[in-house]
Amino acid sequence: MLLGVAMIVAAGLSACNDEPKYRDADLPVGKRVEDLLSRMTVEEKVNQASAELLRMNEYYEKRNYALGHVRNVGHFLPEGNLPNDPKSVAERINEDTRLSMEANRWGIPVLQHGEALHGAQWGNATCFPQSIGMAATFDEDLYSREAEVVARELRAVGVRQVYAPVINITRDQRWGRGQESYGEDVLLNSRMGVAYVKGLEGNGVVATPKHFVDNYGEGGHDSFASIRSWRELREVYLEPFRACVEEGGARGIMSSYNSVDGIPASCNGKLLKDILKDEWGFEGIVVSDYEAVDIASRNHHVAETPEDALALSMNNGLDLQLNTTNEHLIDLVKSGKISEKILDESVRRILKVKFGIGLFDDPFVDPEAAAAVVRCEEHRNLAYEAALECMTLLKNDGILPLRKGKIRRIGLFGPAADHLNLGDYSGGIGGWKGEGITPYEGLKKAFEGSAEVYLAPAGQSVQAARGCDVVIFFPSITEEEGSDRSSFNLPSSTVRQERGTGGGLIVDGRQSLEVRIDQEKMVRDLIATGKPVIVVLHNGAVIDISGWVDGAAAVLEAWYPGEQGGRAIADVLTGEYSPGGRLPFTWVRSIGQNPSYHSIKSSGRGYGYVENDGSPLYPFGFGLSYTTFGYGDMQMPETIEKGEPLIVKVTVTNTGSVKGDEVVQAYIHDELASVVRPLRQLAAFKRITLEPGESREVELEIPNRQFALWDADMNFRVEEGWFEVWLGRNAGEKITGGRVYVK
């Protein structure tokens, strides 16, 4: 297979009549890059700075194998009803890579890219809980292990760059892509983002945090113009990106569709050059979101033509436009609108990444080995562990856990009862092809031989609930990329009966459907039967539950829990596992309180509304358990130096009767500062597991950076003074605390 490639490379070297230094794996990456760059023509450089995305129906007809980047073919195989098992995907990507290496004189391999928001997005790779669910775990170690698995399943088939993670902070719950994020908090976004980036990069996959930056605007609209001040951008929206670059080692960044301070992000020199490259020292590839460069002219109207927009973008720090053509770039370079120096800098970065991940030295994969890696038992077990940890209990009047042997009949209602709710970016073109477990399947197995689990067919009257001992309602909402919300109520859902699934209900707006369900009415009618009603939510953002939560016996937030979600839901409801997830965003009482987040700055007057005092239904970090925890007094020094972290210690005891998880959360407040600071900010957190009666000393390290601010002159520094520090189970609670002087 490599003979053709070797001949092409040999011919190129013969023509140049010098030593192939770039082929020497023992040389430093920088020397290999410069040697290869010196050999390349302008046309060859342009090809390396160009990318391609082709749907399945055009892939093999239009593929330009000379281009340096391509959306991997495995991503689209399900679209053509072609085999998309790991072996087949690996074989097709190998073939694509071989042809790409033969299509250029130097045997430069193509960088196969794709998506990996909560699993490798092709075919039947392991599907983990959505990002918002993983944020609810407050468990960096677990998330890092997940990223390592995702990287192994990407590398197994030959995908070496992914456009993940999404680290856009979500403070307006109307945004449809909130499920892809880690919620509202700066620190939580930063730590989870770094964990995911390290897991990918440490296993040879280029992480590309997105969308740089502030990817939604007023009203929660996707890609609306950012009106944030540079102070707010620095304090909040840029910080997770900085962490992923400086601490995580991300070798990719994706610019967003929106404008920032009047300049489209794809051609914003202050963002891409001044901050990202010069200030943070980013040495990787800056890619545009798909067609974002064209949008700078088509939508934003800052350039007359797409060609002008591309010149504007590359001259302001963009390295690679993700699009389906490179026809403009060669003309722009030849005309001088983009200098060859600018082109060289971008190609230098691209080649550095390719050499850095070993793509030149090991461009192919073993298809047989891929089949053994993807969705192996170890990976499925980790997906189950992640699904368990993300479960967040919001209300429980004592009905949970359900005791086997004391219940004869359980009724399941709602559109998501027998549906695998995975969320955005799931599998090949969003249609995951693995074998998951629905809530109905999980509960049926859990109560096998103990109780009947009755699945109500589509449209059946809630009167059927009267014959059940317990009723569980599984609602569903519409939210995804391109689907922002103006209402937080449970929507009416159109559902259809799906043959061969035991009468399950499938939510699918693309099919001819049969029954329309008013979910708000259904949950209230179920409660009106007098039976205990447990509501299990599948969502990634706030739902207005104020109209029925008082009547519900319990509310479990399951998020989009991945392929093992049904099993995890069943194990939490039956008490096999005590829920330990915590809310990664503030749960408002009504849409009128939105946007809302815990780290607000002080008001000049008040915080309430005519209708309420402005407090949330559930604060950030909230979550219940089947056990209880006691805290001792917090221990910390009275003073610290400006350059050192604060070490906080506390003894936590499981004071209940079952094993459980607690998330210890540390918050701080700057008592006197030169600029207005948040009333509270999450400064550190740690998830621990304790047996009944077990005590453990928990040590939290609050980095010195958490005490810093952007001063009036926009200098980032720590000011001397007193800080309040406290521990709590959520942002609305203070259990133990004190003061520290930073000098």
Percent of the chain exceeding pLDDT 70 equals 94
Residue 325, pLDDT score: 62
Residue 431, pLDDT score: 80
Per residue in 368-397, pLDDT (tens digit) is 999 999 999 999 999 999 999 999 999 999
C-alpha to C-alpha distance for 689 and 372, rounded to whole angstroms: 32
Domain with CATH 3.40.50.1700 in the chain: 390-593
CA 213 to chain centre: 15
Residue 504 has pLDDT above 70, yes or no: no
C-alpha to C-alpha distance for 685 and 731, rounded to whole angstroms: 12
Binned at pLDDT 50, 70 and 90, residue 324 comes out as low
Domain with CATH 2.60.40.10 in the chain: 629-742
Per residue in 157-192, pLDDT (tens digit) is 999 999 999 999 999 999 999 999 999 999 999 999
Residue 327, pLDDT score: 77
Per residue in 537-589, pLDDT (tens digit) is 999 999 999 999 999 999 999 999 999 999 999 999 999 999 999 999 999 99
Give 126 or 497, the one with higher predicted confidence. Answer: 126
Residue 624, pLDDT score: 98
Residue 280 has pLDDT above 70, yes or no: yes
C-alpha to C-alpha distance for 246 and 275, rounded to whole angstroms: 12
Residue 128 DSSP label: P
Residue 6, pLDDT score: 46
Secondary structure (3-state) at 399: coil
Residue 501 has pLDDT above 60, yes or no: no
Exposure class string for 585-614: b at 16+ Cβ within 10 A, else e? bbbbbbbebbbbbbbeeeeeeeeeeeeeee
Can you read off the two tokens belonging to residue 51?
A: 């990318």
DSSP string, 386-455: HHHHH-EEEEESS-PSPPTTS-SEEEEESTTTTS----SS-SGGG---S----HHHHHHHHTTTT-EEEE
> Would you mind telling me the total number of residues written for the chain in this entry?
743
- Looking at this protein, which amino acid is placed at residue 737? G
β-pair partners for 696: 652
Residue 301 has pLDDT above 50, yes or no: yes
pTM value is 0.94
Q: 629-742 sits in which CATH class?
A: mainly beta
Angle at 171 between CA 165 and CA 173, to 5 degrees: 95
390-593: CATH superfamily: Glycoside hydrolase family 3 C-terminal domain (3.40.50.1700)
Nearest to 166 by CA among 144, 121, 196: 196
Per residue in 216-268, pLDDT (tens digit) is 999 999 999 999 999 999 999 999 999 999 999 999 999 999 999 999 999 99
Can you read off the two tokens belonging to residue 93?
A: 């990507």
